[in-house]
Structure 1
Amino acid sequence: MSRHALVVGASSGIGAAVAQTLLRSGWRVTVAARRLDALAELAERLGPACVPAAVDVTDAESVDRLARSIRNGPELNALVNCAGHDLGGRTPFHRSEIDDALSVLHTNAAGLLRLTHAMLPALAEADPADVVNVGSVNGVRAAAGLAAYSASKFAVHGFTAALREECSEIGVRVTEVLPGMTRTDFAATRWRGDQAKAAAYYDSYPALLDPADVANAVRFALEQPPGVCLSEITILPFPTRDSRP
């Protein structure tokens, strides 16, 4: 029987790439996010082993509904947390909107904790069982203009490290994947849909990761032998010969 993964934040970007990569490796994948229409399109494209489910990680009732649905379905072997944003980011904190900053923390940190807490009982009954949190290099290296985002990812980094120690007692491996700059819809969301500004921002970098690069790291962690836990995987973009000036 194929293993079952829940990928949260799967409507686009890294989450969608993780879902696609795991499906190609024979997994059954439940894709979850707020945008059910985008998930339905993704599931139609990826086939019957991909099942969409709506969730807002900042809403307790929404998370509880998803947890009940998961408990009533196939055994859950992996939770992959990809949900996150940086609304209003790349702005000095004293010039930012506090509601934007708090929204970043509520989704990226508190939402991840809420969702993980709800899914751990199901994972504790599975064998094998994994949690993979997609953090960021900004969770270990803060950057100006990213005060709220860095705070949220530092929280994810510390939470993941502690959870890894705790979950060894219940047979659940815990991995953090820490990507560098990755080209997704992330920047457009940061600037409230300004695609031109997002494209110019990404084009200013000499090298970028693709979401598939991060997804391959997630798959690699999940497919390790039972006695191996990859604690952290840091992935940085590297200029190819063709892209160098």
Structure 2
Amino acid sequence: MAMLDPRTLTLVVTGATSGIGAATVRRFASAGSKVVAVGRRADRLDGLKAEFGDLILPLELDVRDEKATFDAFSSLPAPFADYNIVFANAGLALGLEPAQKADLDEWKTMVETNITGMLTTVRASLPAMVERKEGHVVFTGSVAGDYPYFGGNVYGATKAFVKQFSLNLWADVAGTGVRVTNIEPGLVETEFSVVRFAGDKGKADQVYAGYTPMTGEDIAEQVYFACTMPRHVNINRIQCMAGQQTFNGLTVRRDPA
């Protein structure tokens, strides 16, 4: 079974400035792939460009901006215009309050980024891949899309949406030459928790205290595996957890005596 030559792959990676996105850019570029690195922090994009030179096209973009996202995909320069992988990775979690105390604006931001921004990315990029009869859409989902936890309310719901959308998208594009994969990690130590707790690194570090969490590089390796499988193979889902993580217990609320 011959794996795909990474030097034939051209990726667009959203959320490329940190965590899983940045690790994925580095994993593919180090193997010779061309990568459009998409994110909102120009200095970090420039850093990726400095590491890998002409293999990287930095693209400062907020995928919540529909017009800018469509314009960006329609105006990519050669040789990046013939992308054959789109990794819709941009996303975030905000807050860990129970629903009755949650900040509605944080809910809206998660929906706008994790769902609307993801949908915009797919809709802007998919027709060209279908027309070329070659492509792969990859998502960053989460175990939170399957298993609820306290305070995960809207974040988990957005990842459940990503999971089901990825399956429905595969039903739509099967046979077109475009593949679809949802990567669904559990505990990964990136800037994820720092963002969730509004920059409070001490609080974020407590999430991982006593654990050996997965890293962005661990997840990037799974993306690389799925995308370099022979084209007749589609990896629908990869769900993974850190070795010390398992499923939440069911919550039982007892009445006071």
TM-score of the aligned structures, taking structure 1 as reference length = 0.92
Asked if 1:83 corresponds to 2:83, the answer is: no
The alpha-carbon deviation at position 127 of structure 1 amounts to 4.9
Matched, 1:212 2:203: no
- Paired position in structure 1 for 2:137: 131
Q: Which amino acid aligns with 1:91?
A: E
How many angstroms apart in 2 are the aligned matches of 1:29 and 1:118? 17
In structure 2, the residue matched to 1:242 is: none
The equivalent residue for 2:163 is 157
The Cα shift of 1:85 comes to 0.7
CA distance in 1, matches of 2:129, 2:64: 21
1:148 partnered with 2:154: yes
CA distance in 2, matches of 1:71, 1:161: 31
Which aligned pairs between 1:102-141 and structure 2 lie closer than 5 A? 102-141=108-147
Deviations along 1:151-201, whole A, 9 cap, x unmatched?
110110110000011011422000111001100001111111111111122
Residue 228 of structure 1 aligns with which residue?
233
Q: 1:173 aligns with which of 176, 179, 183?
A: 179
Q: Aligned equivalents of 1:66 and 1:37: distance in 2? A: 19
Aligned twin of 1:190: 196
- Please state how far the C-alpha of 1:44 moved relative to its aligned partner: 1.2
Distance, in Å, in 2 between the alignment partners of 1:233 and 1:217 is 8
| 1:149 Cα deviation after fit | 0.2
CA-to-aligned-CA distance 1:180-238 (integer Å, 9 cap, x gap): 1100001111111111111122225x231011110000000001111100100111111
The yes-or-no answer on 1:51 pairing with 2:77 is no
Structure exhibiting the larger radius of gyration computed from Cα positions: 2
Q: Alpha-carbon deviation of 1:71? A: 7.1
Give the TM-score, by structure 2 length: 0.88
Equivalent residue of 2:160, what SS? helix
User: Could you tell me which residue of structure 1 aligns to residue 30 of structure 2?
Assistant: 24
- Supply the distance in 2 between the matched residues of 1:127 and 1:5 (Cα, whole angstroms): 16
Match of 2:208 in 1: 202
Cα distance change of structure 1 residues 232 and 38 upon mapping to structure 2, 3 Å threshold: same
Specify every segment of 5 or more residues in structure 1 that has no aligned partner in the other structure, as ranges.
240-245
Moved more, 44-53 or 20-29: 44-53
User: How far apart, CA to CA, are the structure 2 residues paired with 1:55 and 1:67?
Assistant: 11
Q: What SS class does the counterpart of residue 54 from structure 2 fall into?
A: coil
Contact 1:23–1:29 (CA under 8 A) maintained in structure 2:
yes
Q: Partners in 2 of 1:169 and 1:216 — Cα distance?
A: 26
Indicate the larger mover: 176-185 or 40-49.
40-49
Distance 1:97 1:39 in 2: 31
* Structure 2 residues without counterparts, runs of 5 or longer: 1-6, 245-257
- Kept in 1, the 8 Å contact 2:86–2:136? The answer is yes
C-alpha contact (below 8 Å) 2:16/2:25 kept by paired residues? yes
1:103 to partner: Cα distance: 0.5
Number of matched pairs: 237
* Residue-by-residue CA offset, 1:72-109 (whole Å, 9 max, x unaligned): 6431110011100112x211111111000110011001
SS in structure 2 of the partner of residue 234 of structure 1? strand
Moved more, 99-108 or 47-56: 47-56
Q: Which moved more, 1:133-142 or 1:62-71?
A: 62-71
Alignment counterpart, residue 76 of structure 2, candidates 49, 70, 75: 70
